[in-house]
């Protein structure tokens, strides 16, 4: 794709005859009118010939769902270069033997290519906002390469700059804070790009640097995003070091708040769930990754019952191994029910809501929306649109993605991107990366 942007110019778009998610629920056939980057009308009335003549682009959405885009609330784009390497290892050996050595061998160009590949995968699956826990913070050039790619993609991207000040790849606190401040100053406020603090995990971070980085993020209207209580090993490390479980310790050091995103929360007890609810700290649930790594199943039904906000994420492709949010929705429903022996918990519409970037398409809102094909054997018949989406859909069913009124995916093709060339470039880069990392 060689530096170009991936999206169309902003035009006037009519999306017609689809099942449209409105503030009042699904309507079909529905019509969505987009002008100057915003949704200007959502209607059940067919447009007049006059209006039709004004459209720069008309998208036929018959037998399709027309809805807000999805948020992948936790992934690691760099891990697109590390798929299939878990090899049956549990979390900590997998990190130490596979992920960290490869990460250490990344060049800025590898970071750029891996991010492009990962963003294409998310875009193809209908994700309009990607939260990238950016794990290759080896140099400012690595992070800037990912930020530049994010801006070129046209997607909303949050880069949660990862850091650790204890153990392997530790950085001095002053260097972490200086680089975060640099990133906020340079990139925060760039169109559709957001920066956040992304501590790696509790056991790799000191309380003092956690607090200071969180205060810094707050000054820029941002937040902290990190792995918490992912595995039983981690709970044991926390008990050994602080005499407290992970979420309890976070609360103890004053870090638990609505602007602290708790990724995983697989191993949280009732008291910790209450603390999450009291402080409004959102949990990002990554059921596929938690299962692949043998970490466990997060108590989503209990979290929701207590009023903890729950979002969905795929986690990185090294532990998933895809970034398909539809698969994540279905897995969330299945695991919530299997783990409670209760088929009434987490209805499909609730799982879908956890993944949506907005509750519905509203006139006046930015035109961030997707068109999803439901006219295939896997979804037929569509008795209930939310069920068809949460239980029968795959990423490849997404036909069109529009962000801010610009078309990023049209008829299943990424606009302005030579995808075959990108795949070839990634293949070459990964071969060289494996050699540098000593992984043959």
Query: What is the binding site for Zn ion (CB under 5 A)?
Result: 315
Q: Quick one: 315 or 324, whose CB is closer to Zn ion?
A: 315
How do 398-403 and 406-410 pair as beta strands? antiparallel
Q: Quick one: 110 or 315, whose CB is closer to Zn ion?
A: 315
Q: Quick one: 6 or 203, whose CB is closer to Zn ion?
A: 203
Tell me how far apart the alpha carbons of residues 197 and 214 are, in angstroms, rounded to a whole number: 7
Q: What is the DSSP letter of 97?
A: I
Q: Quick one: 7 or 223, whose CB is closer to Zn ion?
A: 223
Q: Quick one: 135 or 330, whose CB is closer to Zn ion?
A: 135
Nearest to 158 by CA among 182, 194, 127, 187: 194
Closest CB 256 distance from Zn ion, rounded Å: 19
Taking a C-beta distance cutoff of 8 angstroms, is the pair 152, 416 a contact?
no
Closest CB 402 distance from Zn ion, rounded Å: 28
Closest CB 359 distance from Zn ion, rounded Å: 26
Closest CB 95 distance from Zn ion, rounded Å: 10
Q: Quick one: 318 or 346, whose CB is closer to Zn ion?
A: 318
Closest CB 263 distance from Zn ion, rounded Å: 6
Q: Quick one: 16 or 285, whose CB is closer to Zn ion?
A: 285
Residue whose beta carbon is closest to Zn ion: 315
How far from 387 is each of 43, 133, 314, 380, CA to CA, in Å? 23, 30, 20, 11
Closest CB 199 distance from Zn ion, rounded Å: 12
Closest CB 133 distance from Zn ion, rounded Å: 5
Q: Quick one: 78 or 279, whose CB is closer to Zn ion?
A: 78
CA 432-395-190 angle, 5° bins:
70
Please enumerate in sequence order all residues whose Cβ is within 8 A of that of 409, keeping only pairs 6 or more positions apart, or say none: 123, 124, 398, 399, 400, 401, 415
Q: Please tell me whether residue 18 adopts helix, strand or coil conformation.
A: strand
CA 177-180-181 angle, 5° bins:
85
Residue 252: CB atoms within 10 A of its CB come to 14
What's the burial of 170, exposed, middle or buried (CB within 10 Å: 0-12/13-18/19+)?
middle
Q: Quick one: 315 or 321, whose CB is closer to Zn ion?
A: 315
Closest CB 393 distance from Zn ion, rounded Å: 24
What's the burial of 123, exposed, middle or buried (CB within 10 Å: 0-12/13-18/19+)?
buried
Closest CB 266 distance from Zn ion, rounded Å: 12
Q: Quick one: 69 or 316, whose CB is closer to Zn ion?
A: 316
Residue 376 CA neighbour count, 13 Å, CB half = 15
Closest CB 226 distance from Zn ion, rounded Å: 9
Please enumerate in sequence order all residues whose Cβ is within 8 A of that of 243, keeping only pairs 6 or more positions apart, or say none: none
Taking a C-beta distance cutoff of 8 angstroms, is the pair 76, 109 a contact?
no
How far from 366 is each of 2, 24, 26, 47, 369, CA to CA, in Å? 28, 19, 19, 21, 9
């Amino acid at each position: 794709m060689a530096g170009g942007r991936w999206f169309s110019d902003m035009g006037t778009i009519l999306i017609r005859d689809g099942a449209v998610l409105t503030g009042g629920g699904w309507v079909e056939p529905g019509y969505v009118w987009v002008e100057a980057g915003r949704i200007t009308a959502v209607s059940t009335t067919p447009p007049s010939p006059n209006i039709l003549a004004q459209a720069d682009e008309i998208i036929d959405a018959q037998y399709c769902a027309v809805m807000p885009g999805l948020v992948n609330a936790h992934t690691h784009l760099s891990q697109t270069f590390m798929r299939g390497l878990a090899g049956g290892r549990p979390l900590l050996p997998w990190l130490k033997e596979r992920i960290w050595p490869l990460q250490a061998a990344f060049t800025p160009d590898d970071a750029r290519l891996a991010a492009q590949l990962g963003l294409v995968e998310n875009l193809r699956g209908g994700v309009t906002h990607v939260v990238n826990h950016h794990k290759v913070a080896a140099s400012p050039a690595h992070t800037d390469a990912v930020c530049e790619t994010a801006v070129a993609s046209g997607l909303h991207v949050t880069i949660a700059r990862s850091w650790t000040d204890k153990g392997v790849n530790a950085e001095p606190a002053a260097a972490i804070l200086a680089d975060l401040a640099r990133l906020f100053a340079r990139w925060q406020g760039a169109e559709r790009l957001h920066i956040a603090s992304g501590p790696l995990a509790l056991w790799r971070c000191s309380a003092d640097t956690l607090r200071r980085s969180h205060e810094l993020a707050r000054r820029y209207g941002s937040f902290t995003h990190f792995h918490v209580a992912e595995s039983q090993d981690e709970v044991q490390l926390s008990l050994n070091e602080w005499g407290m479980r992970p979420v309890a310790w976070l609360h103890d050091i004053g870090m638990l708040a609505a602007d602290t995103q708790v990724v995983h929360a697989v191993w949280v007890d009732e008291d910790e769930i209450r603390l999450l609810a009291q402080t409004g700290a959102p949990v990002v649930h990554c059921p596929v990754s938690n299962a692949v790594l043998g970490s466990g199943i997060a108590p989503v039904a209990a979290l929701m019952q207590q009023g903890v906000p729950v979002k969905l994420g795929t986690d990185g492709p090294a532990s998933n191994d895809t970034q398909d949010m539809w698969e994540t929705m279905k897995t969330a429903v299945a695991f919530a029910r299997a783990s409670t022996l209760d088929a009434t918990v987490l209805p499909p519409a609730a799982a879908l809501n956890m993944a949506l970037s907005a509750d519905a398409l509203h006139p006046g809102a930015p035109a961030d929306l997707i068109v999803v094909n439901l006219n295939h054997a896997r979804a037929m018949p569509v008795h209930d649109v939310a069920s068809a989406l949460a239980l029968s859909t795959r990423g490849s069913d997404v036909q069109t993605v529009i962000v801010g009124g610009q078309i990023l995916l049209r008829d299943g093709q990424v606009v302005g991107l030579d995808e075959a060339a990108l795949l070839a470039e990634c293949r070459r880069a990964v071969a060289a990366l494996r050699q540098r990392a000593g992984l043959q």
